[in-house]
Amino acid sequence: MAEAVLSIVIVSGLLMLSQLSPGPDVFFVFRTALAQGFRRGVAVGTGISLGFFIQAVVACTAGAWVMKQSWSSYMLWAAAAWLLYLAYRIFPFRRQREETDLGQSQTALQSCTVLLWQGFLCNILNPKCMLFILTLSAGPLSAHAGMSWYAPVLMVALSLAGLLGWVLWSGLLQWRPLRACYVRHTSLIDAVFAVLLVIFALLLLVPDSIF
């Protein structure tokens, strides 16, 4: 029992560390937290975590089978198209003026909802996220296959660990020097984020990409 719980803690910790690595989820949360504040960064992170939970459920049940199906490649195309759309929205020459006051206005609440669903789509449309979950959880799931509670608890733990990581990052990005730097170089930083999203979209279409 103790060994199983420890393995869940370790796997969840590895997931949080992985959030430091470049990827579309990371850049989407970072840019939103910098540009629009803590609450909206958390909204994106919450959407990503919801998508991650669904990916974890599939990965821990039928993930290997799904990834072997011929139609799974269409998911990669859909993910690439979505990342290109996000890049288009972020790119400075197309960016609309954004609110800076998060307040309690109805507009702000609607924006958080939209960002939550955008985060969800950013994650759920990326089948390679499922491959990552499979790699991370395959060993522990096999080692504790006799415990009926292990897989469901692992799914929830991974999702909560992911959400906690996004909340922490969104909070850290509110550090005044970082926000001041973003304000001074908004167009340049947004252009970099947009280009990175385009690169990740192209990498999704490379079969042997590690992304």
Q: What is the pLDDT of residue 210?
A: 45
Percentage of the chain beyond pLDDT 70 is 75
Q: pTM score, two decimals?
A: 0.73
pLDDT confidence of 46, banded at 50, 70, 90? very high
Higher per-residue pLDDT: 103 or 184: 184
State phi, psi for 5 to the nearest 5 degrees. Answer: -65, -40
What is the C-alpha separation between 66 and 77, in angstroms, rounded?
Answer: 16
On whether the CB atoms of residues 207 and 72 are closer than 8 A, the answer is no
CA distance 105 to 101: 9
